[in-house]
Structure 1
């Protein structure tokens, strides 16, 4: 039984798809298929039910996955700890950032940190806040810049900023004459939404659902500049954080009559070993916040 086989099995189980697992691990699909079949032959059990369109675990596969998840996590932490002793000036940090935060907030943090620690390799992964939290839970990221509401108790949180969700309305839209907006005002509006995995999308759609309003979503995108361009050219209304859309030509910002605030912050897994590279990033963020305040 090889470590590689276990890693391939773990990723295929998480993604429920051999092709996507191969893409994520940057290997060929046949490599994963062969490794899993060898693993099944060695164990003498079938790990996956292949009779369905979507790959799913057998009961034996579920038990096996639960056992190896902890083992693989311990191996990853052991490698990190050994590398800390071996190369105190080297390290890798994987950070998940929502597209909205990545474009407007993170570059300043990133450039300052990289200037102080040029020897560290930093990899950025752009996803929605809710998706990033899930990836942190699965140990796929070291850190995530996330919206902190309803975060799992297994995550350590460092609050960084509080912002407000606002409606972005074309300047020539009838609603632009208002100073604030309520959920009923947008019951018949064309909406431009962030894609699945975004906490902002979840919050807005949940408010519409509670008001028994079916949203009329005409476009979806995670490209913030694209969304702002669509709003300014009167394609529809969108919802973003206030500091991102402030001062954008052609767009009127309308806060909700019942304001919606979100707290942004840094999140990481509590039980994971924190490498020296990761600790340096935590300390840097804390110092930056103290200087700002």
Structure 2
């Protein structure tokens, strides 16, 4: 019994015609007829009732059709699995990651991924979470490690990785550096240094300002996290960064906001999109390794 015989048989059943089955399989009708005859000889039963004008199954044929469909399905699954294993020997993933998340999580995750899958390539695009969402929806990028939207967009599949707190970020010499917590009312006279419009943190901060009736004095907008850190450390103004972005820094202090702002970090990809084996491997690794990355000991951390 050959796979081709099973495919011909299933085509005849699904089209109810030897002629249409031949057209579907791009072979001649005699080829289909001969193949079915050989199959019946091997099985020792008639699969079709030839007293009918259409291709009508016998009872034995109905049972065999069920078995043949399962065999072909299992064979296709096996071929897919083998192809996946072969594909993992090479491949490219286009990944979006905001600079703040990237600088903290990505070095550890990339090292771990490269160790397990040395032949796969990660092309990383530093984008804010809002821009990353759009690029993923447009299938310009495969995956994103982003701040998950508060409301499900309906266009993304997501996996939550961890939660982070956004802290007021000031220089260690700033008067608020020793505060246990601050409200936005305490920040009315401060100069704000914010990330650009495609970053979630900016929207979260401006939303809280609006809720508390505070008009922020924005003196600088940047898409570079290191620029923001440098300006704050030199006393140019204040900013708002995730707790993990302040780990290991002595020149910056993180002060909790009251009430706090928490964000969910997760993996995202377009809903309904067929993921490559490379992307699935990356999702599995990141899902299992993120907490390990965040638990690595950091030195010289200053945060309250």
Question: 1:180 touches 1:254 (CA, 8 Å); kept in 2?
Answer: yes
Q: How does 1:144-293 map to 2 (within 5 A)?
A: 144-148=144-148, 149-289=150-290
| SS class of match (2:109) | helix
Deviation at 1:226, TM superposition (A): 2.1
Deviation at 1:210, TM superposition (A): 1.9
| SS class of match (1:283) | helix
The TM-score, its normalising length taken from structure 1, stands at 0.67
Question: 2:87 touches 2:277 (CA, 8 Å); kept in 1?
Answer: no
Deviation at 1:241, TM superposition (A): 0.2
Question: 1:246 touches 1:253 (CA, 8 Å); kept in 2?
Answer: no
Instruction: Give distance in 2, aligned partners of 1:182 and 1:291.
Output: 32
Please report the RMSD computed on the Cα atoms of aligned residues, expressed in angstroms.
Answer: 2.5
Structure 1 runs (4+) deviating above 3 angstroms are: 83-88, 289-293
Encode CA deviations 1:8-62: one digit per residue, 9 max, x unaligned. Answer: xxxxxxxxxxxxxxxxxxxxxxxxxxxxxxxxxxxxxxxxxxxxxxxxxxxxxxx
Deviation at 1:151, TM superposition (A): 4.0
Unpaired stretches in structure 1, ≥5 consecutive residues: 1-80
Q: Which residue of 1 aligns with 2:125?
A: 125
Instruction: Give distance in 2, aligned partners of 1:96 and 1:183.
Output: 31
Instruction: Give distance in 2, aligned partners of 1:236 and 1:154.
Output: 37
| SS class of match (2:207) | helix
Deviation at 1:262, TM superposition (A): 0.7
| SS class of match (1:256) | coil
Unpaired stretches in structure 2, ≥5 consecutive residues: 1-80, 296-304
Instruction: Give distance in 2, aligned partners of 1:203 and 1:135.
Output: 21
Closer/same/farther in 2, CA of residues 178 and 150 from structure 1, 3 Å limit: same
Closer/same/farther in 2, CA of residues 204 and 88 from structure 1, 3 Å limit: closer
| SS class of match (1:105) | helix
Count of residues paired in the alignment: 214
Encode CA deviations 1:70-116: one digit per residue, 9 max, x unaligned. Answer: xxxxxxxxxxx9x8698552211100000101111111101110121
Q: Which residue of 2 aligns with 1:110?
A: 110
Deviation at 1:232, TM superposition (A): 1.5
Q: Which residue of 2 aligns with 1:20?
A: none
The TM-score, its normalising length taken from structure 2, stands at 0.65
Encode CA deviations 1:261-281: one digit per residue, 9 max, x unaligned. Answer: 111111111200111111111
Closer/same/farther in 2, CA of residues 169 and 290 from structure 1, 3 Å limit: closer
Closer/same/farther in 2, CA of residues 160 and 86 from structure 1, 3 Å limit: closer
| SS class of match (2:182) | coil
